[in-house]
Structure 1
Amino acid sequence: MNNYKDDFSAYPKNGVYLDSATVNLVPNSVIWAQSDFNHSLGSTPRKVLYSRSRKTTELYLETKQALSNKFGLEPENYAFTPNGDYSWNMILYSLIDYYNENGNRLKIVASIYDHHSLLAPLQYLESMGKIDVNLITEFNLEDNLLDLINQNTIVAINHVSPILGKYRDIQSLAKTVHSQGGYLAVDFSRSSAQFDVDLKNTDISIIDCSQDLLAPQGIGILFLQNELITSLKNAFPGSGGIKSVSKFEINQLNSIEKFEVGNVNMGGVSALNESMSYLDKIGQANIISQRESLRNYIDKGFEEIEFLNPIDFDDKISQSSSNIFTFTIENTTAHDVILLLEEIGKIEVRSGRLCAHPGLDDLNQEDVIQISTHIYNSLEDIDRLFDTIKEIKTIFN
Structure 2
Amino acid sequence: MRKTDIANKKIKPQTVVFGLLIFLIFYLAIIMISVYGFDADNKLTKKTVRFVPLPAATWGTNFISVSRLKMELGSVKMFYENQDFSDLGMRVDFTTADGKKRLKIKEKNILNKLIENKLIENEATKRGLAINPEDISQEVSRKMQEYGSEEYLKDNLAKLYGWRLSDFEENIVKPDMYKEKLFANLLETDKKSFEAKDKISAALNELNNGKSFEETAEKYSDGESAQDGGKLGWFRSNQMLPEIVETVFALKKGERSKIIESSLGYHIIEMEDRDIENNEDIVQIKQIFVRSLDFSEWLAEYEKNFDIHIFLKDFYWNKDAGTVEFKNDDLKNFEENLDKNSPDDISILF
**Structure (1 or 2) with the larger CA radius of gyration:** 2
Alignment TM-score, normalising by the size of structure 1: 0.23
- Say which structure, 1 or 2, has more relative contact order (CA 8 Å, 6+ apart): 1
The structure where helix makes up a greater share of residues is 2
TM score, norm. by length of structure 2: 0.25
